[in-house]
Amino acid sequence: MTADRTKRTCLAVILAAGESTRMKSSQSKVLHPVANRPMIAHVVDALAKAGISDIALVLGRDAEKVEAAAGNVAVQSSVHIQTERLGTAHAVLAARDTIAKGYDDVLVVFGDTPLITETPLIAARSGLADGAEVVVIGFHTADPTGYGRLLVENGELLAIREHKDASEAERAITYCNGGLMAIDGRKALDLIDRIGNNNAKGEYYLTDIVEVVRAAGGRAIAVEAPEEELTGCNTRAELAVIERLWQQRRRHELMIDGVSMIAPETVFLSFDTTIARDVTIEPNVVFGPDVTIESGALIHSFSHIEGAYVAADAEVGPYARLRPGANLGAGSKVGNFTEVKKAEIGAGAKVNHLSYIGDAFIGAHTNVGAGTITCNYDGINKHVTRIGADAFIGSNTALVAPVTVGNGAYVASGSVITADVPDNAVAFGRARQENKEGRAVLVRERNQAIKDAKKKAAK
């Protein structure tokens, strides 16, 4: 019978003190984003979903920034600075004071494995609840070259054999060490303190804990996780692989939940992108952080959406840009080559093409013609444009904020609107047209003379 792990306390130790040399970066490796979120934040999120509320952060470079990135309302964290690099076991002991508080379980994870989910973490804790003193999270792979092999016999983990030390028979094993493990919290410090450094590098390797446990008559086991979840990151190239794997997983989840993607491999999502069922997304769409798309919406190709809300049955694009604060009402439309920033587009309203709408409120069922812009910035301050319901804004209109156009009003094409327009009024903000008969001939002759003079001067 499986013991109830939910009644057990757990501390997760996140190792994130590496110098990130191979990333060739000005910031800590774990701060690099996956799906627009620092990779360490993904790890903390998985821990929180596994029911773990206490975290010890073992940090080095950029400690304050990493601590901030790892912040999560579901967990409490302590920070421990690792000043020397003497192996993984030594790194864990940087959190000695917190481990000593007496948790039932101690889980050791890495800050650069952002694809990890709660499932293997829960399985590892369950192994401890069932009586194991150490549970190693492993994976099967078609090419185990370079990985430590998990030597398992009759359900017991006998040892972790590094590739360089493995026999020919052991190298044929495809069950490999993923690096993450769970340790009986009541014995964790004693077991780790017994790990020696009798190796070529003189370092203390946490993997040696398996043999320490068995030498003391204890039990070690392994639980399996998908290889993808244990993918670590040391270089920019590996970061790109992790991003691709994360995107594939999230796209698949959304499509299973009822979202249609015509070419899913061309759609890029953020960690918090929320898309309801019956939404259709055409190729080459990018979602930045903080986007919600409601049911029935249609997102056309080559649109970029960030910090925006798109209500049910609204339509975006193609080639539209929604910036933070864009709020599209039900059945509204923002069309091709239109940019919306910090603006509310009312239900059924249309901004079909070639327009910029910023710091604005547009009422329901209003039509905004092509080439319309809200002139919201005076060089120092931003100002608001308000357009009522059922209004009509003619093409190539400049609305100089602050300005209000009333309900049902019409604005003539080509207008520059600098004063408020009352409800149901028609506004003309343009000069009266004048035709100068025959003047075009004179203009052409003058322009030709200028061109000829330039040619002569160039000789």
CA 442 from chain center: how many Å?
61
Question: Cα separation of 440 and 111, whole Å?
Answer: 71
Domain that holds residue 209: 5-230
Of 203, 230, 257, which closes a domain?
A: 230
Domain-located, residue 322: yes
Domain-located, residue 451: no
Same domain flag for 126 and 218: yes
Q: What is the pLDDT along the chain (459 residues), one digit of tens a residue?
A: 455 667 899 999 999 998 888 899 999 999 999 999 999 999 999 999 999 999 999 999 999 999 999 999 899 999 999 988 899 999 999 999 999 999 999 999 999 999 999 999 999 999 999 999 999 999 999 999 989 999 999 999 999 998 888 899 999 999 999 999 999 999 999 999 999 988 878 889 999 999 999 999 999 999 999 999 999 999 999 999 999 999 999 999 999 999 999 999 999 999 999 999 999 999 999 999 999 999 999 999 999 999 999 999 999 999 999 999 999 999 999 999 999 999 999 999 999 999 999 999 999 999 999 999 999 999 999 999 999 999 999 999 999 999 999 999 999 999 999 999 999 999 999 888 888 899 989 989 999 999 999 999 988
User: At 206, which CATH number?
Assistant: 3.90.550.10
Same domain flag for 202 and 161: yes
Domain-located, residue 456: no
Same domain flag for 135 and 200: yes
Same domain flag for 190 and 338: no
Report the SS3 class of residue 128. Answer: helix
Decide if 42 is catalytic. Answer: no
Same domain flag for 126 and 255: no
Instruction: Supply the pLDDT for residue 1.
Output: 40
Contact at 8 Å (CB) between 223 and 120? yes
Beta bridge pairs of residue 223:
137
Contacts 24+ apart (CB under 8 A), 314-317: 317/282, 317/285
Q: Which of 42, 353, 365, 383 is catalytic?
A: 353
Of 168, 203, 230, which closes a domain?
A: 230
Domain-located, residue 317: yes
Same domain flag for 52 and 12: yes
Report the SS3 class of residue 457. Answer: helix
Same domain flag for 262 and 409: yes
Question: Cα separation of 407 and 409, whole Å?
Answer: 5
What phi, psi does 339 have (nearest 5°)? -120, 135
Contact at 8 Å (CB) between 332 and 345? yes
Instruction: Supply the pLDDT for residue 5.
Output: 63
Same domain flag for 26 and 43: yes
Same domain flag for 215 and 243: no
User: At 397, which CATH number?
Assistant: 2.160.10.10
Question: Cα separation of 126 and 447, whole Å?
Answer: 85
Domain-located, residue 408: yes
Domain-located, residue 448: no
User: How many helices, marked H, and strands, marked E, lie in the chain?
Assistant: 10, 33
Copy the structure tokens of residue 253: 């989840």
Residue 382 Cα distances to 290, 306, 378, 385, 419, angstroms:
23, 20, 7, 10, 17
Same domain flag for 134 and 272: no
Q: How many domains does the chain have?
A: 2
Domain-located, residue 433: no
Same domain flag for 288 and 269: yes
Same domain flag for 62 and 143: yes
Domain-located, residue 437: no
Of 230, 264, 286, which closes a domain?
A: 230
Instruction: Supply the pLDDT for residue 185.
Output: 95
